[in-house]
Amino acid sequence: MNNIDLKNRYESMIYRRCGNSGLKLPALSLGLWHNFGHVNVYENSKNLIATAFSKGITHFDLANNYGPPPGSAEETFGKILKENFKSYRDEIIISSKAGYKMWDGPYGEWGSKKYLVSSLDQSLKRMKLDYVDIFYHHRPDPDTPLEETMATLSLMVQQGKALYVGISNYEAHDAKKAFELLKEMGTPCLIHQPKYSMFERWVENGLMDVLKENGVGCIPFSPLAQGLLTDKYLHGIPSDSRVATSGVFLNEKNLTPEKLGIISKLNDVAKSRNQKLAQMAISWLLKDERVTSVLIGASKPEQIIDSLEGLNNISFSNEELNEIDSILAGRG
């Protein structure tokens, strides 16, 4: 932390306007889904935040249940902010979400007004903040009227607990309805956070068009497909990899010979672009101007520095894009 220089933090970062709003976000944002819980080493978590901010990453993305245990990522971030970056609060975009299970009982998840209001209040206390910059509904609720959920998001802005609101994991039809409701309420939706990568392209089936039509930004999560879109598994499974240590979201079943063959061919394309595969995966998302920012995770400061290299070449030739599509379709 002491060796990190903040003087030149804005020199190399690209900032993109978020939809039709006045807000710009860094092309890379740091997600705190992993590596910021109470089970993690505090000094490392602090160094990850400091490294990111020193490179112009001003946006830090959390959720009520990030940890483990749930809620501890927000507590860790709040402590880091208070101890090291309190004077920089106005330079930082902090987002949190609610939608997945946070506590027991019928009011501890989904999209009711009861849950969302309580959840944001808890998040603010954990982070010791007066407000968050962005508050998301984390997933659609099939049982709560969309009007109730969106009205609650709008209320959070009216009460000054959030500056902007967003949604996550909504498909095109429901997203469009949410945008219309929020606009009618005078609180336009700022941003949508979908799962999107070269291996996960459902957003291309209408959602990206809906975002553009409604002036809503896009911030993909899991751009590296939980680590599959890297070169780390091409020569076996490293002992410190997510496959080896977790297996919850990614396990050896994902690493079929066919999938490894595709990863190897994509890696060759990346090499021809003078990039690592992980860097190309980030560039591939940012080639689309509708993508405001890409949400990365990191367990080591060096991974953040490495990801930033993906911003050096976000242009693709038609030949490269066609080759990538062919490889992904199993024809390459």
75-94 tens-digit pLDDT = 999 999 999 999 999 999 99
- Give the pairing of strands 132-137 and 93-98: parallel
Residue 142: inside a domain: yes
- Within 99-212, strands assigned E span 132-137, 162-168, 191-193
Q: Give the residue with greater pLDDT, 232 vs 248.
A: 232
Residue 86: inside a domain: yes
Judged against a pLDDT cut of 60, whether residue 127 lies above it is answered with yes
Residue 113: inside a domain: yes
Q: Mean pLDDT over residues 150-166, rounded? A: 98
* Range with the poorest average pLDDT among 23-32, 119-128, 253-262: 253-262
- Give the pairing of strands 24-26 and 15-17: antiparallel
DSSP 263-294: HHHHHHHHHHTT--HHHHHHHHHHTSTT---E
Judged against a pLDDT cut of 90, whether residue 248 lies above it is answered with no
pLDDT tier, 128 (very low <50, low <70, confident <90, very high otherwise): very high
Domain containing residue 220 = 15-226+278-315
The one-letter code for the residue type at 139 is R
pLDDT reported for residue 59:
98
Judged against a pLDDT cut of 90, whether residue 29 lies above it is answered with yes
Residue 19: inside a domain: yes
Q: What is the CATH number of the domain that holds 128?
A: 3.20.20.100
Q: In the chain, how many domains are there?
A: 1
CB 1 within 8 A of CB 47: yes
Residue 264: inside a domain: no
* Range with the poorest average pLDDT among 83-87, 198-202, 248-252, 263-267: 248-252
Q: Mean pLDDT over residues 228-240, rounded? A: 79
Judged against a pLDDT cut of 80, whether residue 238 lies above it is answered with no
Measured distance CA(108)–CA(123) in Å, rounded? 13
Judged against a pLDDT cut of 90, whether residue 313 lies above it is answered with yes
Judged against a pLDDT cut of 90, whether residue 263 lies above it is answered with yes
Residue 6: inside a domain: no
pLDDT reported for residue 240:
58
Nearest to 70 by CA among 39, 48, 93: 39
Nearest to 201 by CA among 117, 123, 281: 281
Residue 9: inside a domain: no
pLDDT reported for residue 239:
55
The one-letter code for the residue type at 101 is K
Judged against a pLDDT cut of 90, whether residue 13 lies above it is answered with yes
Measured distance CA(39)–CA(60) in Å, rounded? 20
Nearest to 206 by CA among 178, 168, 175, 182: 175
Residue 320: inside a domain: no
In this prediction the pTM is 0.94
pLDDT reported for residue 235:
79
